[in-house]
Amino acid sequence: MAATPMKRVLVVGSGAIGLRTALELSSRKQVLVKLFSPRHPLHPSETLDELLDYTLAKDSAEARLVEIVPTVKLMKELIQSTTLGQWTTDPRLNYQQLTVEMLSQQNRVNRLRIPSEHELLNAGYRHAHMFFTPIVNATLMLKHFLERASEMLEEVDVPSSPTDETTDMFESINEMIEMAAAKNCDAVVNCTGLASRKLCHDDQMLGARGILLHYDRETVERRQSFVTGRDSDQANTNDAAIMAEHAPWGSDSMPCYLVPRGSTILVGGSYLEQDARETISDEERVRLFQNSFNLGIDIDKSTPTSQWVGFRPYRPTVRCEIESGLADSPVKLIHNYGHGGSGWTVNVGAAKECASLVQEALKE
């Protein structure tokens, strides 16, 4: 008896979610996988810097692209342990709730470049969350994913250069299904992020605008209080990610943060829904410089290497499901989008869930 031919799946989208989903499907060795994207993963419009990734990389090659960074989140009040997220119980993160006095005392050992106890108390921050999180070098990791995809998948149809674009931009989800059919695929996975607003007529899909300044990590000058340390007999030499989402330094929609990532220091930011401005305003630039100062950069001696604006694919809930409105279509449609700028945080789990849905859809 002849063997049953393997089914084929087309994954559309080459961001963290699309690439990881394609690789996950391929790793299960039950389907042949094709990847299509009208844009390169590093296209200027696609490279939103994902800041925190709470999933620890297992693959040794990927692990080299991830740095474990001490992270300090500034708080005005103590949070009850019953309201903390489940992630805080993961022993790999070494999560702690501290008073700023305890944070300062611990820093005699940790030697982190963080605000002094005096500065934090003056600003009204009395507590801090401290944990040790993996931070992905997004640019290098996307390159790594694309290289693996080229080795593992049946077909990779992605522009060869970050600045190139294909003319095959979908106008509707039906065009995506037609491409899958033309490629002899039995299913297609929609990982197009913000583009799903138009393709799926999904009004819940919004662009959440983010802004950043980039500094060179090696040459940026630090304020003296961040370098000398509490007892001044030993310098603070270790970078930390610092975040504030409460006044006076930040808010939910205008967070204040500094993140070391690879050779760059990122300072942000914003999370503004339905804000379509593609440049940083003068007012925003002043605020980003103030954030830089508050989080330890000597802005009189340091110049940003670049500035950046991007749009996170925000949706009230992630859409990871089998499309139910196409029962008569020979090509099954599965969605995996709306992760709100948390693609590096959830890409592993989202890919596994989506791959299982693909397998379920192909059995119907």
- List pLDDT tens digits, range 199-253: 999 999 999 999 999 999 999 999 999 998 766 678 999 999 999 999 999 999 9
Average pLDDT, the chain: 91
- Between 334 and 262, the more confident residue is 334
User: Residue 21's domain is classified under what CATH number?
Assistant: 3.40.50.720
Q: What average pLDDT score do residues 149-167 get? A: 87
User: Residue 86's domain is classified under what CATH number?
Assistant: 3.30.9.10
Q: What average pLDDT score do residues 108-122 get? A: 96
The parent domain of residue 125 ranges over 67-136+207-314
Handedness of CA 180, 37, 309, 248 (dihedral sign): positive
Residue 213 is assigned to a structural domain of this protein:
yes
For the cut 90, the answer to whether the pLDDT of residue 348 exceeds it is yes
For the cut 90, the answer to whether the pLDDT of residue 50 exceeds it is no
Which pLDDT value is given to residue 161? 83
Residue 54 is assigned to a structural domain of this protein:
no
For the cut 70, the answer to whether the pLDDT of residue 53 exceeds it is no
- List pLDDT tens digits, range 240-282: 999 999 999 999 999 999 999 999 999 999 999 989 999 999 9
Distance CA 225, CA 212 (A): 24
Decide if 241 contacts 258 (C-beta within 8 A).
Answer: yes
Q: Determine the number of helices (DSSP H) and then strands (DSSP E) in the chain.
A: 10, 15
Residue 186 is assigned to a structural domain of this protein:
yes
Distance CA 169, CA 40 (A): 13
Quickly list H helices, the chain: 16-27, 60-63, 100-110, 117-123, 138-152, 173-182, 196-199, 224-228, 282-294, 343-363
For the chain, the C-alpha Rg in angstroms (whole number) is 22
For the cut 80, the answer to whether the pLDDT of residue 60 exceeds it is no
Q: What average pLDDT score do residues 112-134 get? A: 97
User: What pTM was computed for the model?
Assistant: 0.88
CB-based contacts of 238: which residues, under 8 Å, 6+ apart? 70, 110, 111, 112, 113
